[in-house]
Structure 1
């Protein structure tokens, strides 16, 4: 497996200071989402690997600045970050090393700026999130936040961004991942005073927010969870076509991400109403098996679509 220095060279990152910025981004990504960092390191082609790391680190840094601490502390910190990112898109320069690495990636991979701007705008609005009233509200959330965040990673496969078919398949994946996130983090979100499931779905089954906060095991809550799982399953199934639109350099990771999402959803489905009482993770055995399977195929020189 090529060293980190070799990967930076293969990705065209030769300036010493810039290499240090990418190394900082790698540490931020690894500390924040170690499982995804390992997947990227094992499965993404060396020339693309540092750019994917930079995008993940940027998303992690942005998410932390938007989410951590009381709102009165977050607001000024967030607005300063959003202003720095916006200015950096124009100038290519920034004070933060993670942002400098990401801006270099945006430039060399010609990542469409509108994904960054849309993501920042939606994240600003998310600071004052009060819940989704309807399914239509959720769909707008996907378009404005979940999809742009995913495209900051997915579009790195194609210099200048992928085509409309690719984007539409990414959109199915973004919706599935977001629905899954709402289910797996339901307990933690409720603890922090947030509820992302549309209110009209609760009303449909006669479920109250208090029912979810108290972790009630009732037929109505079970029906609500089943509805959310069914919608998630459909989105992830539709997203399977994304593998066909994925480049060889990214395809092993794409397959792994899809498999892991479906695996986690199966764990949610098995948990039923207990998702209101505890978060649902990936476990260990299946994720390791998925990563090892894809890594073995790479090591054996298997055809990308195999």
Structure 2
């Protein structure tokens, strides 16, 4: 694995200010999802690594501002509105002074296909900013289409082959993000409810005889466990349906895509094993299991 400085140079990033920006975002992403960050550093070609990190950092920053405004309209909405305008202005002129946006715009100049996904993601962000819950599964699916899918494509468009069949690519990416988003909503249930956000469809709660109060009070009952198990099993089915996604990536990127999917499946297994415990805290794969995935793909990539 290249040193970070050499990685930036290999990616053609030589301007000191840009190097500082990418380095700052690297530290933030490493603290946000450690396993995914290690997979990026270990398994992707160095010339692509800073660009994936910049796209991930932009997605996370936008997501945080959108969620802030949904829980604190008096303060957060202004910050999101300012950010939205700053992004659109940056896209128009191709530059920005913002340390999150500046590297993203540079990445978009190297990978022009990213721009349309930034615009789609930004257009869908109000659905997260104005989030009021889901009445039913159809509402959840609209959220995935408008917000989760464009968010995932910020990174997927950099990793998958531009020559991949568009219909196959969309179907597999859509299946992956459906499974991943459902998993996140279950796994982050305690944190989201603490922020006043119920991310499970009301229709599904009613079907299982579980109330919002049950979840907020962390009631680990047969009904709540059945609810969580059903959601996680659906998540697993969608993730497994995207198993051929690595075939749509260039050979040098396939180890990363395989690892990314395998880590998500491990997280799903950990949440299933935890059962009602996810009402108190999220689940994740053991460090040994995650390391095993990364080492296996690193050796496979080397061969």
Structure 1-normalised TM-score?
Answer: 0.91
Correspondences of 1:177-196 after superposition (within 5 Å):
177-196=180-199
Helix, strand or coil: the match of 2:242? Answer: helix
- Residue 115 of structure 1 corresponds to 117
Structure-2 change in CA distance of 1:161 and 1:91 (3 Å)? farther
- Residue 74 of structure 2 corresponds to 72
- Residue 277 of structure 1 corresponds to 280
- Displacement after TM superposition at 1:56 (Å): 1.2
Q: Which of 246, 249, 268 matches 1:246?
A: 249
RMSD: 1.9
Residues 89-127 of structure 1 show CA distances to partners (whole Å, capped at 9, x for unaligned) of: 121111212211111111211124332122223222312
After TM superposition, the structure 1 stretch with the greater mean CA deviation from structure 2, 143-152 or 62-71, is 62-71
Contact map agreement 1:215 1:277 (CA 8 A) in 2: yes
- Residue 105 of structure 1 corresponds to 107
For 1:30 and 1:161, the matched residues in 2 are separated by 30
For 2:195 and 2:243, the matched residues in 1 are separated by 33
For 2:63 and 2:253, the matched residues in 1 are separated by 24
- Displacement after TM superposition at 1:160 (Å): 6.0
Structure-2 change in CA distance of 1:161 and 1:133 (3 Å)? farther
- Residue 217 of structure 1 corresponds to 220
- Residue 300 of structure 2 corresponds to 297
Contact map agreement 1:54 1:98 (CA 8 A) in 2: yes
For 1:277 and 1:202, the matched residues in 2 are separated by 18
For 2:59 and 2:285, the matched residues in 1 are separated by 21
**2:205 counterpart of 1:205:** no
**2:267 counterpart of 1:264:** yes
Helix, strand or coil: the match of 2:28? Answer: helix
- Residue 139 of structure 1 corresponds to 141
- Displacement after TM superposition at 1:179 (Å): 0.6
Q: How many residues align?
A: 300
Show structure 2 runs of 5+ residues with no match: none
Structure-2 change in CA distance of 1:259 and 1:160 (3 Å)? closer
For 2:247 and 2:162, the matched residues in 1 are separated by 19
Contact map agreement 1:7 1:46 (CA 8 A) in 2: yes
For 2:162 and 2:82, the matched residues in 1 are separated by 28
Residues 66-102 of structure 1 show CA distances to partners (whole Å, capped at 9, x for unaligned) of: 3348332111111111111111112111121221111
For 2:264 and 2:121, the matched residues in 1 are separated by 22
- Displacement after TM superposition at 1:296 (Å): 2.4
For 1:150 and 1:157, the matched residues in 2 are separated by 11
Contact map agreement 2:29 2:37 (CA 8 A) in 1: yes
- Residue 62 of structure 2 corresponds to 62
Helix, strand or coil: the match of 2:278? Answer: helix
- Displacement after TM superposition at 1:259 (Å): 0.8
Residues 233-263 of structure 1 show CA distances to partners (whole Å, capped at 9, x for unaligned) of: 1100111111111222321111111111111
For 1:17 and 1:84, the matched residues in 2 are separated by 19
For 1:141 and 1:161, the matched residues in 2 are separated by 28
Helix, strand or coil: the match of 1:215? Answer: coil
Structure-2 change in CA distance of 1:75 and 1:161 (3 Å)? farther
Q: Which of 79, 83, 86 matches 1:84?
A: 86
- Residue 53 of structure 2 corresponds to 53
After TM superposition, the structure 1 stretch with the greater mean CA deviation from structure 2, 121-130 or 174-183, is 121-130
For 1:135 and 1:91, the matched residues in 2 are separated by 40
For 1:287 and 1:71, the matched residues in 2 are separated by 38
Structure-2 change in CA distance of 1:125 and 1:161 (3 Å)? farther
